[in-house]
A = this chain, B = another copy of it.
Amino acid sequence: MKEIKIAILGMGTVGGGIYRLIQRESKNIEHKDGVRLVVKKTLALAYSVDVPESVKAKDIDEILSDGEITMVAEVMGGIEPAKEFVLKCLKAGKTVVSANKDMISQNWPDLDAAAKQGGAGLYFEAAVGGGIPILRALTDSMQANTVTEIYGIVNGTTNYILSKMDDFGQEFDVVLKEAQELGYAEANPASDVEGLDARYKLSILASLAFHGRVPVDKIYLEGITKVTRMDIGIARELGYVVKLLAIGKKLADGSVEARVHPTMLKKDHPLASIKGSFNAIFIEGSAVGEMMWYGKGAGDFPTASALVSDMVYAAHQEVHPYATFDNRYEADQVIINDNWVTEYYVRVDVLDQPGVLARIAGLFGAHNVSIESVLQKSGSGSAAPLILVTHKANEQDLRAAIEEIAGLSEVLGAPSVIRVEK
Contacts and interface: CB of A to CB of B under 8 A. Distances in A.
A95 interface: no
Given A32-B324, A270-B273, A294-B270, A144 B308 contact: yes
Contact of A309 (B34, B142, B211, B328): B142
Most chain B CB inside 10 Å of its own CB: which residue of A143, A285, A307: A143
Interface in A306-349: 306-309, 312-313, 316, 318-319, 321, 324, 328-330
Instruction: State the copy count for this chain.
Output: 2
A302 interface: yes
B133 A141 contact: yes
A291 B291 contact: no
Categorize the interface residue count of chain A: 35 or more
Contacts of A309: 140-145
A33 B323 CA distance: 10
Nearest to A312: B143
Interface in A112-152: 125, 131-133, 136-137, 140-146
A33 B302 CA distance: 29
Contacts of A33: 143, 324
A25 interface: yes
A290 B130 CA distance: 12
Interface in A281-313: 285-296, 299, 301-302, 304-309, 312-313
A273 B287 CA distance: 23
Contact of A302 (B32, B141, B287, B319): B287
A18 B140 CA distance: 18
Contacts of A319: 318
Given A309-B143, A313-B140, A31 B211 contact: yes
A196 interface: no
B296 A294 contact: no
A141 B318 CA distance: 18
Contact of A28 (B140, B146, B294): B146
A286 B133 CA distance: 15
A317 to B, nearest CB: 9
Contacts of A307: 144
A211 B33 CA distance: 10
A133 B136 CA distance: 10
A179 to B, nearest CB: 20
29 contacts: A21-B287, A25-B145, A25-B286, A28-B146, A29-B143, A31-B211, A32-B211, A32-B324, A32-B328, A33-B324, A34-B328, A133-B137, A133-B140, A136-B136, A136-B140, A141-B306, A142-B309, A143-B313, A144-B309, A144-B312, A145-B305, A287-B302, A288-B301, A288-B302, A289-B302, A291-B296, A292-B294, A294-B294, A318-B319
The 3 closest A-B pairs by CB, nearest first: A133-B141, A144-B308, A287-B305
